[in-house]
Amino acid sequence: MSDLLPFVWHRKPFGDRRGREALLDLACHAALAVALNSELLHLIRINFFYSHSGLDHFAEADLLLSPLCREIGSDLYELQSRGKLLERLYRRYSKKRIRKLAVLLTNYAKSCPDWLKLEIFKKSLLLTALLHLDPATANQLMEKQRGRARRDREEHKWLLAMQKEAELGKNAAAVKPSRFFEVHHLPAARPWQSREELRQLRVWRKKKQGICMLIGPKGAGKSVLVKRFLQEQAESQKGENLSVFIFSFHFAPDIESLFESLGVWLESKSEREIPERLGQRDGLLILDGLDKFQENNGRIYDWRLDRLLQRIAVLASAIVTSRRSLPKQGTRSFHKIIIQPYKKHEIIRDRIIEDRLSIDKGVQAFKPIVSTAAKVAFARFLNKGLDKVEKHFEPTAVEQAISQAYEEWITAILGSLRMRGYEEQELEEFFRAYQVDLESFLKDQEAAEELLKPFSSYTAKVSIDHNRLLQRWEALELHPLPEDVDTAAVSRAYLHRINKAGIINPDFRDLFLAQLARKSAKHLEAIL
Amino acid sequence: MNRDNILEFFPWILFNRLRDCWHFRLAPEDYQELYSALQAGFGWQSRDDLRTLCCALWAKSLQERETLFSLFDHLADEFGLDNWLLPKHQENEPETGPEQPQIPSWKKPVALAGDDTPPAPLPPPIPKPELREEKEAPVISAHSLLTVLEPFTHARLILSPRYVLGYRQVVQATRRLRQFTRSGPKTELDIAASIALRCRRGVTVPLVLKARQRNAVRPLLLADRLGSMSPFHHFCDNIVLRAIRQSSRCEQVSVYYFHDVLAGKRSPRNKALLQRLTRRDIFSVMDEAAADIQALQGGYLYTEPKLLQARPLPEVLQREIEGAAVIILSDAGAARGNDDIIRLVDTVAFLKTLYAYTSSVVWLNPLPRERWRDSTAAGIARHVPMFPVEHEGLHQAVNCLRGQSFDLEIPL
């Protein structure tokens, strides 16, 4: 699922992972409809996310304008990767909610008959709703229709498409949440430093029951400690029997979502069963950011959550992170671990080292692209009749310098993403999503001219026109870059890096100037 | 937590959700009213009964009723109140149903306190749709599918949009857009003039009449269509434009459409300026360049939303601009976050043309201010009063059209 994250539009308020995850949740609901308009998406949001603070009215526009949506008519959209989105829907939400969603689509089609002008669209939408409400009846209908459709080519095509739709729904319904169910992503330490609290956590885990509270101020590293602990557990048990459910109130301060996801994961129909089922499964519940539901004295003000934790303390095990401790009451007792804040300068130092390592890793991944693009740029030189000039230089040295410059450009992009909080896995996603695009871009003549501008400048005050680069990117019709890439900052960092690395020497400047001179001479010839 | 506790919590959570999430105007007294009604014995017959009671006390419009019904059912499902007690309706039912839940003592209705309430039955199961066997194979059509889906469609859901701004709010704001002048046939008695005339002449004279006061403001709406405005079409058409058209109490409301910027030929001077600007940072140079931009000479606007019937801009302006309050409705590139110098220059050229005719121009942007940053919208907002389409923004826009001064960074 995470591979869809880059395609959710990265407007600034949604620039963080939290916002993008929320948009994906909305998208997976919208994916139930074969086509949708802005009003239907709005109705889906207000019916199913009315208490979700992360999704406002403008989130709808963000989703509709994102690469995940394709406009197929005037105010009519189709979602891409519906299979994956439907799987997310079935994995995270209850059947009851999905049925309700299908009913919403039906009621909307019924109450607004004009929104889908074409009958074929309308019946596709209704049949899809029926496929999720009552698959047997839908399949029965389609089977009966098949005999008649043999005479009608269009009808036959439509039935084939709907058959695929049925398979899509069937596959999604068959998806079961994994034993290690990460509803929300916990941040990883960048980099990890050994901490005493981790040892305490290991000792507590041996008891296999009760609640462990990690208490510490904001930024102390509670969530990253849990993440590290889970990684260790997964490695030690090879992920076979580890049954973990992770929910973060920072992402979704919503009790209903917690119970719904827990219900889906534990296949339990009522809230009462949850602690027992969790205990039977030997599962570990992780609740991050409990302070969202605590009063100043630490008391939980939501009775359902309070009841859940009271029963889990006796029947199962959970790790809870919070800024405040829970008051002792009744039968509830818990193990408390106080997290001391990590020293800030140490974090910064370690982060710089780790950033460097992961960026280097990223650059290595792009190396084949860079060398091919450098070859293309160099070949372009030779084609321009500069073979004589080229004789004075070591050809591989020029090619190498171009290649190094490109590497520095990619490093600058990765650095920019890293600054925005991209982690290693997300950087890998970026490589996968933009590999082809970056290669085509670097091979493009105009883009290469702009990027290699410092080669022909005698002064260090040369500037890269990031707007031109962006226009070129758009003209080549490549995937839109994530909003997190600050192109102006990337250009500045790129210039700084190539100057610092001393890639360009005066000889190269001569060569590039000769190329420019040749170009102008040809231009003059043409005019005269 | 037992059922008593749930029943104690349920109305309170419903009340809070309605207030916090759906902005119902409810005061503590409203909750007290429900409490009193429950104590008096209302709302205990069934789940529907309690829902109706909540609706009667808290919902003030059809929209609010729909929201309340939907939220009530949602919460009731969550609390497991499906098989709720139905003492009145089950007089004839056999006593084999599930155990009757206990009613908290304070909630027990006075009239029913001593009754032997029979157990509640399960709600009737949803009849499974049966496919009618016909001689001919059934055709799947939208109509037939709706029939098959009919048993499923009884869930209470919200089916009318709740945008950031409602129709009524737009109506309230635009009603303030008025400038009264007397025109038309003389139908009203002018008392002062009549008395003055009578005094002057000293004899009986006919009464003096005067024309009725009329709102002379003529809103001229220029709406951006397609592209990044597509997600806002429904909101703009059904809330903003409809409200202004139907209820602004103006003599005439004209609506024209465009896409991104006005279609038309760019002047050679602006072309040259653009070539100079594209390679440099936009905002730093626009301070000087704004004066050099030439007003748009030609240009077209469209008379219908699909942008098929064009009309020359000079013709539109000649016909409509007199006494007009121009309202431009566009995201100005903020929806996609584009920073487009060409769009900025073309828009400034068009604004210059508009300002040559009238200074009563405002720009309504469906996106909030924080989304304008780093986009063409931020650049345009330096030249024209731009407001977000929200309650406060709309009132500010109306104030501006009524003549209130507005500080612009670079006035045109």
Question: What's the pLDDT tens digit per position in B134-183?
Answer: 445 446 777 777 777 777 777 788 888 888 888 888 888 888 888 888 88
Q: Cβ of B139 and A110 within 8 Å?
A: no
Q: Cβ of B163 and A141 within 8 Å?
A: no
Partner residue opposite A103 with nearest CB, options B153, B366, B370: B153
| pLDDT number for residue B191 | 92
Cα separation, A259 vs A169, in Å, equals 24
User: Which of A173, A165, A116, A117 shows the shortest CA–CA distance to A141?
Assistant: A165
Q: Does A47 touch chain B (CB under 8 A)?
A: yes
Cα separation, B16 vs B18, in Å, equals 5
Partner residue opposite A39 with nearest CB, options B70, B146, B161: B161
Cα separation, B168 vs B166, in Å, equals 5
| pLDDT number for residue A188 | 77
SS3 B376: helix
- Whole-number CA gyration radius for chain B: 31
Partner residue opposite B140 with nearest CB, options A38, A127, A134: A127
Tell me the two tokens of residue A500.
């610092």
Tell me the two tokens of residue A329.
């009451």
More confident of the two residues A157 and B193: B193
Residue A376 confidence (pLDDT) above 90: no
Partner residue opposite A133 with nearest CB, options B136, B152, B226: B152
The answer for B 4-63 residues in CB contact with A (under 8 A) is 5, 9, 17, 21-22
| pLDDT number for residue A4 | 57
Residue B24 distance to chain A (closest CA, Å): 14
Residue B306 confidence (pLDDT) above 80: yes
Question: What's the pLDDT tens digit per position in A438-481?
Answer: 888 888 888 888 888 777 665 556 778 888 888 888 888 887 77
Phi, psi at residue A211, to the nearest 5°? -110, 135
User: Which runs of consecutive H residues, i.e. helices, occur in B125-260?
Assistant: 142-149, 167-174, 191-201, 233-235, 242-247
Residue B192 confidence (pLDDT) above 60: yes
Q: Cβ of B141 and A134 within 8 Å?
A: no
Q: Does B70 touch chain A (CB under 8 A)?
A: yes
User: Which of A327, A332, A263, A257 shows the shortest CA–CA distance to A295?
Assistant: A327
**For residues B177 and B250, is the Cβ–Cβ distance under 8 A?**
yes
Cα separation, B50 vs B28, in Å, equals 18
Name the closest residue on chain A to residue B17, using Cα atoms.
A51
Residue A485 confidence (pLDDT) above 80: no
Q: Cβ of B279 and A13 within 8 Å?
A: no
Q: Cβ of A74 and B153 within 8 Å?
A: no
Q: Cβ of A111 and B159 within 8 Å?
A: yes
Residue A101 confidence (pLDDT) above 60: yes
Question: What's the pLDDT tens digit per position in A400-420?
Answer: 778 888 888 888 887 777 777
| Percent of the residues in chain A that have a pLDDT greater than 90, as a whole number | 2
Q: Cβ of B159 and A60 within 8 Å?
A: no
Partner residue opposite B153 with nearest CB, options A51, A64, A110: A110
Partner residue opposite B137 with nearest CB, options A37, A74, A145: A145
User: Which runs of consecutive H residues, i.e. helices, occur in A183-336?
Assistant: 196-205, 222-237, 255-266, 273-280, 303-315
- Chain position carrying tokens 């302070």: A291
Under the banding of pLDDT at 50, 70 and 90, the label for residue A239 is low
Disruptive mutation site among B78, B128, B134, B157 for chain A (greatest number of A CBs within 10 Å): B157
| pLDDT number for residue B11 | 83
Residue B327 confidence (pLDDT) above 80: yes
Question: What's the pLDDT tens digit per position in A130-156?
Answer: 888 888 888 888 877 777 666 667 777
Under the banding of pLDDT at 50, 70 and 90, the label for residue A266 is confident
Q: Which of A347-356, B7-16, B123-132 has the lowest mean pLDDT?
A: B123-132
Residue A121 confidence (pLDDT) above 90: no
| pLDDT number for residue A384 | 53
Name the closest residue on chain A to residue B67, using Cα atoms.
A47
Partner residue opposite A43 with nearest CB, options B139, B159, B228: B159
The answer for A 113-172 residues in CB contact with B (under 8 A) is 119, 122-123, 126-127, 129-130, 133-134, 137, 140-142, 144-145, 147-148
β partners of residue A338: A215
User: Which runs of consecutive H residues, i.e. helices, occur in B59-129?
Assistant: 62-79
Residue B53 distance to chain A (closest CA, Å): 22
Beta carbons within 10 angstroms of residue B214's beta carbon: 16
| Percent of the residues in chain B that have a pLDDT greater than 70, as a whole number | 81
Name the closest residue on chain A to residue B161, using Cα atoms.
A43
Residue B50 distance to chain A (closest CA, Å): 21
Element containing residue A284 per DSSP (H, E): strand A284-288
More confident of the two residues B197 and A179: B197
Residue B70 distance to chain A (closest CA, Å): 8
Name the closest residue on chain A to residue B142, using Cα atoms.
A123
Residue A80 distance to chain B (closest CA, Å): 17
Residue B90 confidence (pLDDT) above 60: no
**For residues B335 and A65, is the Cβ–Cβ distance under 8 A?**
yes
Question: What's the pLDDT tens digit per position in A199-232?
Answer: 888 888 877 678 888 888 887 788 888 888 888 8
Q: Does A39 touch chain B (CB under 8 A)?
A: yes
Residue A380 confidence (pLDDT) above 60: yes
Q: Which of A6-15, A498-507, B273-282 has the lowest mean pLDDT?
A: A6-15
Residue A389 confidence (pLDDT) above 70: no
Q: Strand runs (DSSP E) across A333-468, as ranges?
A: 334-338
| pLDDT number for residue B113 | 36
Tell me the two tokens of residue B215.
């709102």
Q: Does B139 touch chain A (CB under 8 A)?
A: yes
Residue B95 confidence (pLDDT) above 70: no
Under the banding of pLDDT at 50, 70 and 90, the label for residue A24 is confident
More confident of the two residues A239 and B333: B333
Q: Does A307 touch chain B (CB under 8 A)?
A: yes
Disruptive mutation site among B74, B159, B340, B343 for chain A (greatest number of A CBs within 10 Å): B159
Partner residue opposite A100 with nearest CB, options B136, B155, B231: B155
Residue B23 confidence (pLDDT) above 80: no
Under the banding of pLDDT at 50, 70 and 90, the label for residue A163 is confident
Q: Cβ of B146 and A126 within 8 Å?
A: yes
ipTM for the complex shown? 0.70
Please state, rounded to an integer, the average pLDDT across all residues of chain A. 77
Within 8 A of B146 by CB-CB distance, chain A residues are 106, 109-110, 126
Compute the residue count for chain B: 412
Residue B48 confidence (pLDDT) above 60: yes
Disruptive mutation site among A75, A302, A308 for chain B (greatest number of B CBs within 10 Å): A75
Please state, rounded to an integer, the average pLDDT across all residues of chain B. 78
More confident of the two residues A32 and B129: A32
Q: Does A270 touch chain B (CB under 8 A)?
A: yes
